[in-house]
Copies of this chain bind each other. A is one copy, B any other.
């Protein structure tokens, strides 16, 4: 009989408020903010952005924009934040615009979770979204490390779209990990229940209604499209870069 190797663990953290209940410091943390931060990040890097600097306030965004000569981006309530230049929509970052540029971006939930994961000593931090699902899956399979799938949620509350993405990742990698985590079981369950009908299902979610009020339906349909922006955003020296 061959020797049985101990599998690394996988946990899903449903909102940033719950992160400190988990052992972050020896884990790879996947930051998930499906509508729309991590979908936009994957897209900008796939389209050739040299790097993305995620910051947690508009003030810092302006400051870092000046320091780096980067493009500043951020929205609140569906509008570009005064003092910044662009919004949070993936459609704003085609190759013709973003290639070889630095994007300094502030977002409500995803950036916050990313900084929490760094502060708690994550081994690596990457970002995940449906547009770069397969790249995330491949990376996680290669690492042989404990994993935390971190859902950004909405103002610390649970949301379904981030959980669905966690469930999609779990579906692809569950055989390689020890999973003793009800959040992960639920996420995987929910994903399998709805994967065949995602475009209709997401129209029932709270976040859909909030963003649809700003006319962002197309954005959201893009954000649940698999592998349309296959980059691998990984945090190195203060920025997200495409690991490729």
Contact = CB atoms under 8 A, between A and B. Distances in A.
Interface string A6-28: 00000000110110010000000
Interface residues of A, number: 27
Would you call the interface of chain A mostly helix, strand, loop, or mixed?
helix
A119 interface: no
Interface stretch (A98-106, A199-207, A236-244): A199-207
A158 B180 contact: no
B189 A193 contact: yes
A38 interface: no
A18 B17 contact: yes
Contact of A160 (B156, B163, B182): B182
B193 A205 contact: no
Contacts of A15: 18
Contacts of A181: 206
A45 B205 CA distance: 39
Given A189-B190, A190-B190, A182 B156 contact: no
Interface string A190-219: 100100000000001111010000000000
10 contacts: A15-B18, A21-B156, A157-B183, A158-B183, A181-B206, A182-B205, A182-B207, A186-B186, A189-B190, A193-B193
